[in-house]
Amino acid sequence: MLRSVAFTSLLQGLVVPVGVLLLDWPIAVVLGVFVLEIVAVVCWAVVKIPFAAKRPRNMIDGDDRLLGPLQTKRGSVTFPGPLPPVYPRNVPTLLLTVCFLAPLEVGAAFLVFAFTDPTVTTPVVKQLVLGGAVVFLAEGIETAREYFARGGYRDHSPRSVVLVPFKRLFGVGALLFVAGPLQGAAVSGEVVLGLLVVGKLLYDLRRFQVARDPDARGVFYRLYGSAETEPESVPVEVPPGDPVVCDRPPQTAALLDALGRGVTYTLTSSVLIVYVAAAFFLAFGATAVGLVFLGVVAVVAGVRAVSRYLRYGTVEYRGYDGTLVVYDWVLDEPQARLERSAVTGLEVTTDAVDRVFDTRTVRLGGMDDDAPTFRLTVPDPEELEGDDADANESLSLVHVRDHRQLVDALGVSWRLDESVAPPSR
């Protein structure tokens, strides 16, 4: 393991020194290769995210209506071939990275590069293409060797994968910030070039040291966390034997519910502003722009609908003696459980879909009502709790056919008399 880490780190670290000493790279090429290194790290991070096996800690609030249901999903999908399983819970982080974090980091890197006022000529462009290709290949080799072939994906969550380009942006960005003022000062180009080469070597050596030392804790690790502070995923414990009762919501009801929730979300969230913008442009004749805004609304509604369906449309509720288990029949994986002794409340409601299909929606209060404790820094790995697979959290049983059998199997049917609630609107 150590030899492979040394090889891949050395390969990346020697790109700039070799380019300067053997290919006579100017400052503009060195700075440009730094930026392309950030681009390469971001691209390969996007490739890594779907396969990260650990669960993300506090990346997205589980109660978030848009992406929360996806991140709380347990289980994986295995495809034929050598690649490891893909985890649906990593999709929210992938979307955030592709749509927001990656453009932000790459844009910031190119912006800082522009501040150095580089002289870009045809020879410089050719050297940049060569340097960028080598850096991209080196990062790809490290990804293939360490992350896939040697099982590094087992040690990461999608959240810790995102940390890698974030740290690289600050480290390499600092060198870009230094280079700009020095070039405009009374400092020779050779001195600036030397400082850049030495600074990059020191940064790569530090990365190598952190890779060797699992106990290394820097500023980023304290504030953000690391792969070591992400929880190992463990399966939800299922009681032995067959369930007493099993209730699977009707698929038609689940689909209509998901579509309705997708549309409702766009009308009850900040997406409503996009509707206003679309109406404004359509009213003033900018039809193409207005349709683009409506397309954004449709995409958000679709994401919300898919998220809702994957949370409640692909599950069945299995009642054991004193325990209720939510089971995903598509992923073949239990999602959550609630024990009789942990039930703090029960509420039965009916919405429009329930009334059409003669179903009920039941909310069972669990042991997760206390607000989480806020901390400025992330504790050390040994101070953190593991996966909360059996945490007895509150459950919502959506569009169940016979809620009384489920409640009776759980052993809290006496709470039905207290659960009278007005119909949902």
Q: Which of 312, 327, 351 is the last residue of a domain?
A: 312
Say what the pLDDT of residue 208 is.
72
Residue pair 243/407 in contact by the 8 Å Cβ criterion: no
Give me the half-sphere count of Cα atoms (radius 13 Å) on the Cβ side of residue 352.
8
The 10s digit of each residue's pLDDT in 100-137 is 989 988 888 888 777 777 778 888 889 889 998 998 99
Ordered strands of the 315-320 beta sheet? 245-247, 315-320, 323-328, 333-339
Instruction: Please give the average per-residue pLDDT across 411-420, as a whole number.
Output: 75
- Work out the burial of residue 239: count CB atoms within 10 Å of its CB; fewer than 13 is exposed, 13-18 middle, 19 or more buried: middle
Window from 9-18, 245-254, 294-303 with minimum mean pLDDT: 9-18
Same-domain check for residues 32 and 52: yes
Same-domain check for residues 98 and 24: yes
Here the tokens at position 32 are 């440009």
Same-domain check for residues 319 and 349: yes
CA 129 vs. chain centroid, Å, equals 31
Say what the pLDDT of residue 369 is.
54
Distance CA 166, CA 161 (A): 9
The 10s digit of each residue's pLDDT in 196-210 is 778 887 877 777 776
Residue pair 17/197 in contact by the 8 Å Cβ criterion: yes
On the question of pLDDT at 420 being above 60, the answer is: no
Q: Which of 291, 312, 333 is the last residue of a domain?
A: 312
Give Cβ neighbours of residue 127 (< 8 Å, ≥ 6 apart).
19, 23, 25, 29
Instruction: Please give the average per-residue pLDDT across 17-27, as a whole number.
Output: 82
Same-domain check for residues 26 and 163: yes
Domain range for 147? 2-229
Same-domain check for residues 53 and 171: yes
Q: Residue 217: which pLDDT band, with cuts at 50, 70 and 90?
A: low
How far CA 208 is from CA of 47, 108, 202, 223, in Å, comes to: 22, 25, 10, 21
Same-domain check for residues 71 and 126: yes
**43 membership: H or E segment, kind and range:** helix 27-48
Same-domain check for residues 354 and 303: no
Same-domain check for residues 158 and 109: yes
Reported pTM: 0.84
Same-domain check for residues 268 and 341: no
Torsion of CA 116, 202, 230, 86, to 10 degrees: 70
Q: Residue 413: which pLDDT band, with cuts at 50, 70 and 90?
A: confident
Say what the pLDDT of residue 3 is.
46
Same-domain check for residues 319 and 305: no
Q: Are strands 315-320 and 245-247 parallel, antiparallel or unpaired?
A: antiparallel
Here the tokens at position 318 are 């299995």
Mean pLDDT of the chain: 85
On the question of pLDDT at 186 being above 60, the answer is: no
Q: Which of 42, 160, 164, 27 is nearest to 100 (CA)?
A: 42
CA 383 vs. chain centroid, Å, equals 23
The 10s digit of each residue's pLDDT in 272-305 is 999 999 999 999 989 999 999 999 999 999 999 9
How far CA 187 is from CA of 116, 178, 290, in Å, comes to: 14, 12, 52
Distance CA 320, CA 410 (A): 7
Same-domain check for residues 214 and 358: no
Say what the pLDDT of residue 218 is.
67
Say what the pLDDT of residue 261 is.
95
Q: Residue 1: which pLDDT band, with cuts at 50, 70 and 90?
A: very low
Residue pair 380/405 in contact by the 8 Å Cβ criterion: no
Residue owning tokens 């040690």: 155
Same-domain check for residues 340 and 220: no
Q: Which of 229, 262, 297 is the last residue of a domain?
A: 229
Domain count, the chain: 3
